[in-house]
Structure 1
C-alpha cells in the first residue's frame, strides 16, 4: 500500500495525501507546480518536496516564510521520515504512515448518531436564503448524509433515476460543500431507478476516496460505505432498508415498593389535627366563650411548618429565575460571538447551534490579532469547536515582498495591508514596460487580486504628464526630470510668464506620485530676454564664415553647416542674420550668437 500523509489537526484536518504515481512529489499551494495541492493560505506556492529512495521517504523544506516542522523541530536539510512522524505544513499537522493510515479520521461519526435536523451551516436567528432547494421531508427514501467536515450533519434528499454534481460551485453543482479542500466540480453522484448509487471523480485535485482507496472510474457504492471528498465525508442512506432497533427493557416495581413511594401524612400534621380537636372540645364545654390558645408544642410545630413553606417558596423562585437565565443565555449566543469579534471587522462567522461548532472566515492584520481573536472565542463555553479559515494578512504581504525583492527592477516596490483584507502596492518604477510586467506577475501569483490596490508610480508617465502641462501653457523653455518622488524643473522663462508659471507649479504638485517639487527656472528680465549662447555654451557654436549681398549678410557657416534665415540648429530657428550677430528663437525664448568681432 502507498504511503500517506493524514491531516490530524488544522485547516486541512481529515485530508489524506497518497504518495503514489512516481517517486517524487511537490507539496504546496500552486496547482501548476505541485503534484499534491494544499488549499491552505498559510502554505507557500511550493512548500516541501518528498522523494522515495531505497532508504525510505525523504522530505525537504522549500519554504522560507513558514518552514515545515517535524515532531515540533525545524529542519534545515533533507530528512528521512519515520512511521508516525508529525509534520507541520502551513496550518495543518500531518501524520506520516509508510503503509497507509490505519484508520479513517476520528471525526467521522457513525450513521446511527442522531445529529438533529439542522446539519447545515447557518447563522443563528437569521433567515436562511434558499440557495439550494432540497426537500428533506420523510417521503424521500434515499438521503445523502454528511458525517464529517464543515457541513457535518447536513442531509440532502436523492431521487431515483437522477444524477447530482458535488462541489463548491453554487452555480454548477447540485449539492454544495462549504469546504476549501473540495474542488468546484469534485464528483458526480448517480442514483439509478433501482436505487443503486454510483459515484465518479470529475478530475478533482484531492480525488474521491471510498474506504481509504482512491477511485479511478465510476464506482458503485455499497450500503454503509463512507465516501471522502477532501476533509468532508458522507454516505448514502436508504431509510427503508431494514435496521436493528434496540429496545430498552421495562422494569416493574414490587407492590411493597409502590406502597412505600405513596406519600402519607406526616406525623406533624396528625399531631396538629389532634390538638385542634382538643381545643374545639374545650370550647364547647365552657359556658362562656373563651378565646382558644395553642399549646407551646403546637405553636413550635406551626413555626417550623411555616419556615419549611418559606424555604420551599424561595427554592421555587430561584428555580424559575434560573430557568429564565438559561433561556436568555441561549438567545444571547450570537450577541456574545459578535462581541468577541467586534474588534475584527474583517472576520465573518457561521454558528451551528445543533453541534456547537463555529466556522470562521476572513482576514486579520497580524498574528497577534489572530491570537487575541481565538482567545476571545475560547472563553465562550457553548462553542464546542472552531473551524479556523482566517487569513493573517501580515504573512501574505511579507512573503510577497520577499518575491518582489528578488527582481532588480522591482526593488523599489513593496506591499502592505492598510486594513484587514486589503492589500496595496506602493513604490516607483522607471518605465511603463516595467509596470506592465509587474501587473502581469501579480495577476498570476497573487491570490487576492480583487483586494489589491496598485499605487505604484511610473516615473516615465509622470514626466510625460509634466511636459504636457508645460507645453500647454507655452513654457517650452522649461524641462523636467523625475526620480523617487521628486520633480525637478530647469530652464528659462520670460518675466511676463511668471504668473503663468506659478499656476503650472500648482498643477504639477497635484500629479499622483509627486512628493516634492524643486524649481531651478531662471526668470529673464525684458532687457536680458535674449540669451547669449557664447556665454552659456562657450566654443559650442563656431561661426567660420558668412556670405554678404551688399551690406546684408544672407548666409553663415555654423559648425561647418551653411545656414540661412529660417533654418534650425539644435531646435532653434534663425530669425535674423546681422553683420556681427545671429538671432535665434525657440519656444518663445530668444537667443543670439555673436561673431566676427
Structure 2
C-alpha cells in the first residue's frame, strides 16, 4: 500500500486536516479534507470506493448567509407593519367620517345643554359673589408682631414677681421668679403657649409659693413647740412666719431651723411673737410710767392688766395703754383697774434709795440720800421732794406721790 504524508513547513495560516491543525508530519487517509491557507483539498482514492463528501461552510460564508436571512426577515416585517398601518389609517378614516356624522347629529342637542350650563354658571357665580360680601377676606400677608409688646401684656399680672428673657432669633423664652399658686402658674403657661412666636418655653426657674409653705408647715406641725407657728405667702415672692412661742429658747431653735432648711431667707419676714420678750417690754413700760402695783398677764396676743392706780393718774395710764398696744405681738389690751385712796396711792421706793444721815437746822431738815445731801424742794431722779419728816421723805412726779422710809 501507498501512504500519503503531509507536513506543514511553517506556513502563516497553518494546515488543517478535517478542521484540526496539523502538527509535524502526519499520514492522511482518503476521504479527509485538507485545508491549506484559503484552499481546501479533498483527498480520495480513484481506485477505491467513492463517497459523497460535504464540506462545512466557512465562517465568513455563514455570516453572509445569516445577514441575508436577517435582511429578508426585516423586509418582511416592514411589509407587515406597512400593511397594518394602512389598515389602521383606513379604520381611522372611517371612524372620523362616522364621528363627523355623529357630531353633526348631536350638535343641535349640545347647543341646548351649553345654554343651560351658561345660565347655571351665572347663577352659581352670582351666589359666590354675594356670599363673599359677608365674609372677611383671608389674610395672605403675615402681619409683623411686636414681641416685646405682646409679652409685656401677657406678663403684666406677674411683672412684680416674674422676670423673663426672650430670644427672637431662636424663639426661646426663659422665665424666673415666683407665682402665688398652682392656678396662677397654669394660667401663665397657658397664655404663653398661645403665642405663636414662642418655640421653646423654659419655666424651670418658676417657684410656686403655695408648694413651699405647704411643705414647711408639714414639718412645723410635727414639733410640739412649733404647733402654733405657720408659714404663709400673702404675695408672690414673700413669705411670712407667724405664731406665738413661750420662751426665747424656743424662738432661737426655730430660727436655727429656718436658717438651715429654708432657701428663701431673703424673702422671709419673721413675725413670731415670744411671750417672754413681750412681758419684759410691758414691765419696762410700766416701770417707766410709774405704775408698780399693776399685775400683768399675756396669752395668745391678749394683754390683761389688773390692780390699782394712784388718784389723778388716769391720763397718764391712758397714754400707757396706747404705748402697750404698739408692742409687736400685742393684739388686744384688757384692763381691770381701780383708783387707789390717797393713802394707798403713794408709791414706796425705799428699796431704791439708801438714807445714811439727817440734820435739822430750825424747822429745816436735810438728809443724805445715796451720798447726796438734799432738802425740801430739791429734785431726786426727777422727783421733787415735797416734805421731810424724821421717818419719811415724800416726793412727787407727774401727780404721783412717792415715799422713802428711813
Q: TM-score, normalised by structure 1?
A: 0.34
Higher relative CO (CA 8 A, sep ≥ 6), structure 1 or 2? Answer: 1
Instruction: Work out which of the two has the higher radius of gyration on C-alpha atoms and give 1 or 2.
Output: 2
Q: TM-score, normalised by structure 2?
A: 0.50
